[in-house]
Structure 1
Amino acid sequence: MLVDNMQNDLHPVLQRLLEEGYRLAAALPVFALALLVVWLAWRVGGWLSRRKTFARISKDNPFVRELARTTTRWVVLLIGILVALEIMDATALVGAVLGTAGVLGVALGFAFKDILENYLAGILMSVRQVFTPRDHVVIDGNEGIVVSMSSRATILMTLDGNHLRLPNALVFRGVTLNYTRNPNRRFTFDVGIGVDEDLVLAQQLGVDELKQVDGVLETPPPRAFINALGESSVQVTFHGWVDQRSHDFLRVRSEAIRRTKLAMESADMDMPEPIYRVQISERKEKPAHEARAAREKMAREDASLQPTIDTRADADLSAQIDIDKRVNASENLLHPEAPRE
């Protein structure tokens, strides 16, 4: 009696399992077809991603080229998955998958906000580059020579030879000063002249001396103007231009200051210090033509004794950057021939 009751209880269960088995067996061809569609989508996506079209579109930007290939491969695969789900009549599952993907995308966006921001900034800067390798830049107050740019950060080498890693988001948002974009760069320095001196003559002396400095361009020409009237001196500002491709900016400026100072001293110009002094002796003024002749004679004598100062551009940091690229080979999204803003 008990055995008969157990058989009666198990019969519906066995019948249900048998029906599900038949249904699964009937669905196997459809499931196999769906898997075939997914496999074909993966193969087609891989084939499309290897086409030479991507190489021609972004030949100067390996990062954008790889991003386009990966995006193409996964978009084709996603289309294949959606078609496979439609074949299996799983439209409700399609909506659930899309909804889950949307929620997951929002969650990941908040969780990895900084990483995604740096990644997107790297993409935008690699497409329209604001600088190229070896450019001398100041980014948000950070000065250095551009070494490379990855998908997350921009690498600078400071003028002290140290590596500086800046997040791409900071570089994208920050203010960038590029000294290399225009090779001609102007230097400026001030000289204090006594209030009793001939200021026009002081300006002319300084400009004439700047024209003789190796590395100072003839066009635009050096200039001088009176900038301010101090308590014990008049401030004269001198300007000169340097071609940074052939000469070092700081060396040319240094030599310009040195030679201007010597010219003023040779002309017996008063360059008062920022202190109060009591003049006990009275200087006897010479006629203008005699004073000019004496200054020119002293300048010629001093020129023969002055050492030759090398103002040419050096390659100290360039050599270090070359060594770094050989030792630490990594991706670089910057290319000298890429489009620039």
Structure 2
Amino acid sequence: MDDPIDESLNAVDILIRQLLSMWEQTVSLLPSLVIALIVLIITWIIARFATRIADKLTYKTNMRASLQELVETIVRLAIWIVGLMATLTILLPGLTPASLIAGLGFGAVAIGFAFQDIFENFMAGILIMIREKMRIGDYIECEGVEGVVESIALRETHVRRNNRELTIIPNSILFKNPVKILTDDDKRRHEIIAGVAYDTDLDKAKNVILTAVQSAEQVDKSKQVDVFACEFNSSSVDFKVRWWSGSKPRAMHESRDNVIRAIKRALDEAGIEIPFPYVTHTFKEPVPLATKD
């Protein structure tokens, strides 16, 4: 029968030998760890200086801020990928660059399926930054979100609404759906409906409205003002009034206010009535109560 004390000593001896073996492997790996750490530090330094150089070069070309950020990110990412591949090759001598690239290819496919939405937003962000439209500061409208573009990142875009609320929109939504860029030009055409009574001389009413709009503040006098009779309404003949003014929301509200005030004042002075909507009510005859015989 084996002695329990001898078995305990053998187990301790095996454990000590394994610990010594691990320590020897760690000591032998120390030079590689030091070299790998040096490579990482050098990679960090190169990435930092390369980003500064890319920033200076893109600044001289008057490139948009979002596109400058994209170039800097690509430069930084490329340098770090090379540095990490060199670090792994140093720590794992049996790992060749070819096998590492092949492994990254299979891993990228697996990660792509797992993080499909993230990569979709990432690629959409790159394409949004490359195209010239939708710059920072533009007023946009997309999928019920309306506001000023504050920043365009690789995965998301920040839009500040008129009430100062911040909305974060995934870039894939902006890329796959129609986006209205209301401030793409400095001027934008606005329109309202103005109605006059049926007994009004329409030629006279049109001239009065046209003169009023042309004299209103914040209306672009270099562009044509349109006044079209467009509809027979229930209690009025409606004119569609169109003019050009600033494209920003504040300018739109101010010019609309000035135009409506000018039209109302001019029609009143000309004695032209702006009728109230005529609402008809249908009354049903009361149903007599049933009487007993």
TM-score w.r.t. the length of structure 1 is: 0.61
Q: Deviations over 1:37-78 (max 9, x none)?
A: 867865664564323542344444234313312312322542
TM alignment of 1:96-115, pairs within 5 A: 97-115=100-118
Match of 2:268 among 265, 268, 276: 265
**What SS does the aligned partner of 1:270 have?**
coil
Match of 1:123 among 123, 126, 137: 126
Offset, 1:151: 3.0
* 2:255 aligned partner: 252
Gaps of 5+ in 2: 1-20, 60-64, 281-293
Q: Which has the higher contact order (CA 8 A, sep 6+)?
A: 1
1:135 aligns with 2:138: yes
Residues 240 and 267 of structure 1, relative CA distance in 2, 3 Å threshold: same
Contact 1:122 1:153 in 2 (8 A): yes
Query: Whole-Å Cα distance in 1 between the matches of residues 216 and 197 of structure 2?
Result: 25
Offset, 1:112: 1.4
Offset, 1:260: 0.6
Contact 2:85 2:97 in 1 (8 A): no
Residues 233 and 110 of structure 1, relative CA distance in 2, 3 Å threshold: same
Match of 1:71 among 58, 78, 87: 78
Q: Does 110-119 or 237-246 show the bigger shift?
A: 237-246
**What SS does the aligned partner of 1:248 have?**
helix
Contact 1:189 1:237 in 2 (8 A): yes
Contact 2:209 2:267 in 1 (8 A): yes
Residues 69 and 98 of structure 1, relative CA distance in 2, 3 Å threshold: closer
Matched letter for residue 55 of structure 1: D
Offset, 1:167: 1.0
Q: Deviations over 1:196-254 (max 9, x none)?
A: 32111111101111122111110103221111233543211111111347972112112
Q: Does 47-56 or 191-200 show the bigger shift?
A: 47-56
Contact 2:54 2:71 in 1 (8 A): no
Q: Does 134-143 or 116-125 show the bigger shift?
A: 116-125
Matched letter for residue 80 of structure 2: R
Contact 2:182 2:248 in 1 (8 A): no
Contact 1:215 1:252 in 2 (8 A): yes
* 2:244 aligned partner: 241
* 2:199 aligned partner: 196
Instruction: Give the length in aligned residue pairs.
Output: 247
**What SS does the aligned partner of 2:239 have?**
strand
Query: Whole-Å Cα distance in 2 between the matches of residues 161 and 276 of structure 1?
Result: 40
Contact 2:138 2:183 in 1 (8 A): yes
* 2:288 aligned partner: none
1:213 aligns with 2:216: yes
- Give percent identity, aligned residues only: 22
1:230 aligns with 2:237: no
Contact 2:125 2:154 in 1 (8 A): yes
Tell me the C-alpha RMSD between the 2 structures.
3.5
Match of 2:159 among 156, 161, 185: 156
Q: Does 96-105 or 108-117 show the bigger shift?
A: 96-105
* 1:55 aligned partner: 55
Matched letter for residue 108 of structure 1: I
Q: Deviations over 1:16-43 (max 9, x none)?
A: xxxxx9xx9xxx8xx9998898678656
Contact 2:43 2:80 in 1 (8 A): yes
Contact 1:38 1:77 in 2 (8 A): no
**What SS does the aligned partner of 2:191 have?**
strand
Offset, 1:79: 5.7
Query: Whole-Å Cα distance in 1 between the matches of residues 279 and 268 of structure 2?
Result: 20
